[in-house]
Structure 1
Amino acid sequence: MASWSAERRAARQTSTSGWAALQPSLALGYRALAVLAPHLPAALGYRAGEVLGALLAQPWFPPYRAVLANLRVVMPEADRAHCQLVARRVLQGICLNYYDLFRWPHLSDGELRAAATAQGLEHVHGALARGRGVVVVAPHCGPYTIVFGALIRQFDTRALLVVERIADPQIHAAVNRMRRMPGIDVEPLGPQVGRAVLRALRRNQIVILGGDRAIGANNVVVRFFGRPTPLPSGPATLALRTGAPLVTGCVRRLPDRRAWACFDPPLAIDRSAPTPTAVRDVTQKIAYIMEAYIRRDPAQWLVAQRVWPDP
């Protein structure tokens, strides 16, 4: 424990000047990869992503430190070496996601169908049959931002993916262009997101939201991995106000590189409770479900921002 505390103090004291100096180069490299990656053989592209992720698993890299801090909460009994191994796999998973993001928009329909598999699709079909749209909420696991690009063909509707705004506006625009695959609309968090989400639900579409990290201002504090944690209240609020079914789920990357998604039955919601209480209760249910998914394989939880401050 003492060594962990010393490591945390050292990480906080480490200068981030090297990271700041590297960011323009990373942005340039990102743009170059967006052009080159679709032309790489898939085996080579995935291998390159794994190598890059391993190279970035260094104390000077802020996302690596953030992942380690999160894993200390998720895996409190793990020793430092195991946490470092899992953190490296998390960064590799993030790099593989970017490769998929570059590659998937260039795949044929047949290749897309082969790139993902799912279970529990009947729960989404049943929810759509109610005619109020569906709110899908999941942790940031596996290739979560692009899996619906392959699965949307299973449904007679469109999907709206709500995403975090990336600081670099050029990268933000490029990433969202690639996310807008056939049948998929993308809306960044901001002043217009509420209107876009309500419009999608009125059209009986699928709204996809992350629920494992507080990003905007609309949050509620619940228990997450045994700690009071602010998590987004948006999924619960939408389901309560619109009557849309709320479906939880998770995505994983299989050993053969395919994406695997699972969807749970619509969450039971007590709509008789006062709204603040109901929002908290529903968000807590979501938190417990996400926690169970993350515990199954923490290396697939691809959150590279700190979820909890240091104790």
Structure 2
Amino acid sequence: MSLRAVSMGAAYHTAGRVPGPFYRLAPVVAWTVWNLNPAWRRRLTRTMLPLCEGDRARARRAARRALQHVLEYYLDLVTLPRRDMSRFERDHLEIFHNERLDLLRSNGPVLLVSAHTGNAEMAIQALTFRGRSFVALVERLEPRDWAEYMLRLRSSAGGTFLEANFAGVRSCIEALRRGGVVGVMGDRDIQHTGVCTSFFGRRVRLPRGPWELARRTGATVIPIFSSRKRGDQFRVYVEEPFVVEESEDAERDIRAAVERYVVLLERHLRRDPGQWAVLEDFWKVHACGEG
């Protein structure tokens, strides 16, 4: 068994039972990791610089907070199997523009598109208790025992989490065609097929998958952004729902949807850059070399 799987299992049996003290320890652990790993410090700071308008001191503060939020995300995961998710929305979520979620009470297909901020997964899990189950796509992880354990944790509260491969995408299409709810992320091009667009003044590829799904199935898109207030308390911002246009020019339709999403994502990241829990060297990994 891999070290990652063993570590998550140990966290499940400790922090998963009594999470409060571990949430309070997260800033201390993040500070320690930050100071012991200069490579992470440099990489995270580079990622935050465009979000902080080139202010290096601010970028370093945001990068350290992002690292803390990654740790808290894993804490969230190991607590999921023991949570009463029917009460999570009431006790843990502050929702802005809640009325836009009325679509979840309809019978039509809905695509929830979010980003790696706060913990969108937990927010979507909570929303399933409004009467709609959901399928969500996540990145394939290695080693495989850790990946399978992560999928079990993510799916333990009612939703179904699948890897973003052919089978996973097919399951999402089928769910939407049945009038279901699907959750995806729109800020990292993990399949390397993305649309080249301008993001914080840089040219990067962002995923086309969410918008192809919406266009192909006629699903209504609801952009949702999560922001961690403290511990396991979150703000959830529900943006205006829209439908991806279906004209004779599919590429134009998808690009228009990506650009609409980028405007929303930039606004949320400018407000609080440290919420973006992305550990990779984003601008290098997703650069598209145009412009």
Q: Judge same fold: TM > 0.5, yes or no.
A: yes
- Distance in 1, Cα, partners of 2:195 & 2:269: 20
- Distance in 1, Cα, partners of 2:67 & 2:209: 28
State the structure with more CA Rg: 1
Segment drifting more, 209-218 vs 249-258: 249-258
SS in 2 for 1:221: strand
2:144 is equivalent to residue 169 of structure 1? yes
SS in 1 for 2:222: strand
- Distance in 1, Cα, partners of 2:60 & 2:3: 25
Deviations along 1:153-174, one digit per CA (max 9) or x if unpaired, are 12x2111121011112121111
* One-letter code aligned to 2:54: E
User: Hey, what does 1:137 align to over in structure 2?
Assistant: 113
2:72 maps to which of 96, 102, 107: 96
How big is the shift at 1:306?
1.9
2:182 is equivalent to residue 207 of structure 1? yes
* One-letter code aligned to 2:171: A
Q: Given the two structures, how large is their TM-score scaled by the length of structure 2?
A: 0.89
2:28 is equivalent to residue 51 of structure 1? yes
Segment drifting more, 244-253 vs 47-56: 47-56
- Distance in 2, Cα, partners of 1:149 & 1:127: 13
Count of residues in correspondence between the two structures? 284
- Distance in 2, Cα, partners of 1:121 & 1:205: 20
User: Is the contact between residue 123 and residue 266 of structure 1 (CA under 8 Å) also seen in structure 2?
Assistant: yes
2:4 is equivalent to residue 29 of structure 1? no
Q: Given the two structures, how large is their TM-score scaled by the length of structure 1?
A: 0.83
SS in 1 for 2:195: strand
How big is the shift at 1:308?
0.8
How big is the shift at 1:247?
1.3
How big is the shift at 1:119?
3.0
SS in 2 for 1:118: strand
CA 1:121–1:273: 2 relative to 1, 3 Å: farther
Q: Which runs of 5+ in 1 are unaligned?
A: 1-23
2:75 is equivalent to residue 105 of structure 1? no
Q: Which runs of 5+ in 2 are unaligned?
A: none
How big is the shift at 1:298?
0.4
How big is the shift at 1:64?
4.0
Deviations along 1:256-309, one digit per CA (max 9) or x if unpaired, are 641221211212543335101111111111111111111110011111112212
How big is the shift at 1:98?
0.8
2:205 maps to which of 230, 248, 255: 230
- Distance in 2, Cα, partners of 1:29 & 1:272: 49
SS in 2 for 1:91: helix
SS in 1 for 2:284: coil
1:146 maps to which of 115, 122, 127: 122
User: Hey, what does 2:43 align to over in structure 1?
Assistant: 66
User: Hey, what does 1:115 align to over in structure 2?
Assistant: 92
* One-letter code aligned to 1:68: T
User: Hey, what does 2:135 align to over in structure 1?
Assistant: 160
How big is the shift at 1:106?
0.4
User: Is the contact between residue 64 and residue 304 of structure 1 (CA under 8 Å) also seen in structure 2?
Assistant: no
* One-letter code aligned to 2:9: R
Match runs of 1:6-21 below 5 Å: none
CA 1:233–1:110: 2 relative to 1, 3 Å: closer
CA 1:104–1:26: 2 relative to 1, 3 Å: closer
User: Hey, what does 1:3 align to over in structure 2?
Assistant: none
2:275 is equivalent to residue 300 of structure 1? yes
User: Is the contact between residue 128 and residue 134 of structure 1 (CA under 8 Å) also seen in structure 2?
Assistant: no
User: Is the contact between residue 252 and residue 261 of structure 1 (CA under 8 Å) also seen in structure 2?
Assistant: yes
How big is the shift at 1:115?
2.4
User: Is the contact between residue 50 and residue 96 of structure 1 (CA under 8 Å) also seen in structure 2?
Assistant: no
